Structure formats: structure tokens, C-alpha cells
Amino acid sequence: MALRHYTLDFNLSAAVDAASTAPRLLSIFHEHEMTETEHDTGGRGYLATFAGKNGRFVTLRVHSHGLITIDVQCYEDDNVAQIDNLLNALEKKVKVVLNGSITRIKRLPALVRGAAVDRYWPTTDGRLMEYDIDRVVYDEDSAYQNIKILHSKQFGNMLILNGDINLAESDLPYTQAIMGGGKEDYTGKEVLILGGGDGGILAEVVKQKPKMITMVEISLKVIDGCKMHMRRTCSNVLDQLEGDCYKILVEDCVPVLKRYAQEGRTFDYIINDLTAVPISTEPEEDSTWEFLRLILDLSIKVLHPDGKYFTQGNSANLAEALSLYEEQLERLSCPVAFSKEVVCVPSYGELYPFSLNWSTDSICVLEFKCIAQPWKRRAMPLDPHHRRFLLNRGPQLGFLRRVEEEVSVSA
């Protein structure tokens, strides 16, 4: 059975005497028939726990530096009205006892722990998000990852790979961003999609009548799950592995890219939807950085001289990781330039970088799109300023040039 965990915090204007303050709050717990146990804090304020009927459990802590924290735990089937009454009584009592010295009261919605359906998913920069997820519609393990598709009342079905939110049915802006933000014409072009097992990119590019799309996705189980449960995203393009203007290869993209490079095959557009930029340079991330560099280098080798390359980055808050990614671009087999800007994806709770590239004989360009996400009951508005960076290095120039441009857009 799941547990509900409530929190109630009081910030005070000055330190309080815990020994004299805490006893004045105990009557509330006694009124709710709770048994008290006081704990030794080694002189760091007052700490007591209270056990009540139906498994209710409360922690009261009066911190010497001017903070009071109250945690209430109860089972999911407990009487919500009674728990609210307890919290209301505690809030009222503290206001009376500490009249005039409270600077802020913070009472958060209950955190539901151990539920059958997990509603809590962290952002890449470590913040916790609660989604309105009400059921699991698909849960499978492949040889490569755990694959979940969860239903959100607000965002539709959401694809989650190894605990990382990839895409929701609401997230057309993600697909549009990684395709170039509506500024590209794919008509009659050769397109290579790396990853993209949700089918969103494939479905959108097909609409533009390209000459041929080759999509390389390693996991058939991702494709199978999405063609059943992400129809708003993929439409019918995943129903068959081959269509009039596309072919899906269920393979590891690395040997495919190597084979294409050996054959001299090139593409007008390459869209890399494989993996985000690693969030650190710790040893466990080394293999991911190596993989990222390998895919970049192999992709450049099969990109037409006038072609363009798109990929994703990571949370805009992970500035160090994004900077490290920029450093990787200097290690490629050809000179590289890139730019980045901000767009908005509904189901994410953070700004997120994406990329576009194009190439000539002497220079390759990479553009990132950072994505801002509206969240839950409030929509996070698109930042009124798009920030665009262009890093340009041509062998004929012999130096590195960075241009930063700030573009105003309508809110």
C-alpha cells in the first residue's frame, strides 16, 4: 500500500529556544491520540516522533537556527480530512506560539511513495517533477534498456527509457526542433535518422515527400511499443518497416554508418536522436562521450557536402556538460561550426538543447536548439530572447571565431 508524506515548514525571523517552544506544541498531538518519543539531538534543537492510529507517524523538529519542520506520514487509504485537520491544527498552534516571528509557512502537496504507478521523474539537473500519470500502458525490457510507456492526463502517453523521459505525445515541438524548426525543406532529399524509435521524426519527415528516409533503430521493442501506444506521435509509419519513401533498419547504427562511409553513400540530412550529451566527465560517463564522438565523426563522413546534421544536447542548466560537448566538436575529422537557440517542449521541466548541422566542402555547421518546457498547472512561457551561438572555423581561416546573437521574439 502506498504512503502519503506531507510536509509543513516554518521559517522564523530569529533562532528560538527549542526547549521552551516544543512543549507548547505537544497538546495538538495528544488531542489526536498520538504517542510521543523524544530523541537526543546532541544539542541541535528538539526532535520528537509521534505514532498514532492507522499507522500515522509524525516527526517534529525545532531547529535552533530558526526553522521548524513537521513531517506527517499516513497510508494512502487513511482519512484525508483527518490528516488535513491535524495539519491545520499544527499550523494554527505554531502561529499562536510564535506570533510575529514567522517569516514564511510552506505546506506542500503530499508526496505519494511506493505507489503502483510512479508519478515522480527527475530532470537531468536533479530536480523532482510530479506528473499526472495514472497508468502504465507498456513495460518491457529489451537487451538494451527498460522501456516504459506511461499515460499522462495532460501530455498523453510518454515514452521512458531506463528512467529517462524521451517523448510524450504532446511533444511535437521536440520533433520540429530536431528537424530544424520548420526552416528546412526535405522534399526530394535523402534523410538518415539515427534512433527515433518513437516514430515521431519519421512521421513528420514523410509528410514532406523526401526521396528516401533511412531510419536505424536498435530496439524492435521500442518500435513495437510505440506503434501500439504512441499513435499520436508516429501515426502509422511504424506499422511496417518499409514504406514508399522510407526503410527502418533494426540494427546498431555504428556498423551501418561505417558501411555507408565505406560505400561513399551520403545524405542531405542526418538527424541524430540517439542519446543526450553526458552530464559529467566521471569515469562511468567516458564510454558515453566516446560513443557520442564516434557517432558525430561517422555522421560527418556520410553527410553530403551541402548537407545538414541535427542532434540533441542536454538540459540547459548543465552548462558544463554542454561546454564539454562543444569541445568534442573540435576533435572531429573536419572543421565544425554550430549555433543554438531556445524552443518549447510540453512534457519536459527544463530548458533542453538540440542541434542542426550543415556542411560544405570546407566547413561543417552544428546548431543546437534549447527547449523550454511548460510544466503541470502553469505553463513556463518561452523565453522572449532566443540566444544563438555560431562557432565557425574554416581551415582557410586558421583560427576560431565565435559569434553570439540575441534575437527578440514575440512572447
Which residues are marked as active site?
Answer: 273
| Residue-wise burial string across 298-324, b where 16 or more C-beta atoms lie within 10 A, e elsewhere | bbbbbbbeebbbbbbbbbbbbeebbeb
The dihedral formed by the CA atoms of 312, 353, 327 and 192, expressed in degrees to the nearest 10: 20
Between CA 259 and CA 267, with CA 265 as vertex, the angle to 5 degrees is 120
- Which residues fall within 8 angstroms of residue 379, CB to CB, at 6 or more apart? none
Cell of 65: 537556527
Distances in Å between the Cα of 62 and the Cα atoms of 15, 174, 191, 220, 255 are: 10, 46, 62, 55, 61
Cell of 390: 555560431
Amino acid (1-letter code) at residue 316: A
The dihedral formed by the CA atoms of 129, 132, 137 and 142, expressed in degrees to the nearest 10: 0
Amino acid (1-letter code) at residue 196: G
Cα–Cα dist 275/353, whole Å: 12
Amino acid (1-letter code) at residue 39: H
Q: What is the DSSP letter of 375?
A: B
| Residue-wise burial string across 138-147, b where 16 or more C-beta atoms lie within 10 A, e elsewhere | beeeeeebeb
Number of residues that this document lists for the chain: 411
Cα–Cα dist 162/336, whole Å: 32
Contact in structure between 43 and 82 (CB atoms under 8 Å): no
Phi, psi for residue 258 in degrees, rounded to 5: -65, -40
- Which residues fall within 8 angstroms of residue 164, CB to CB, at 6 or more apart? 276
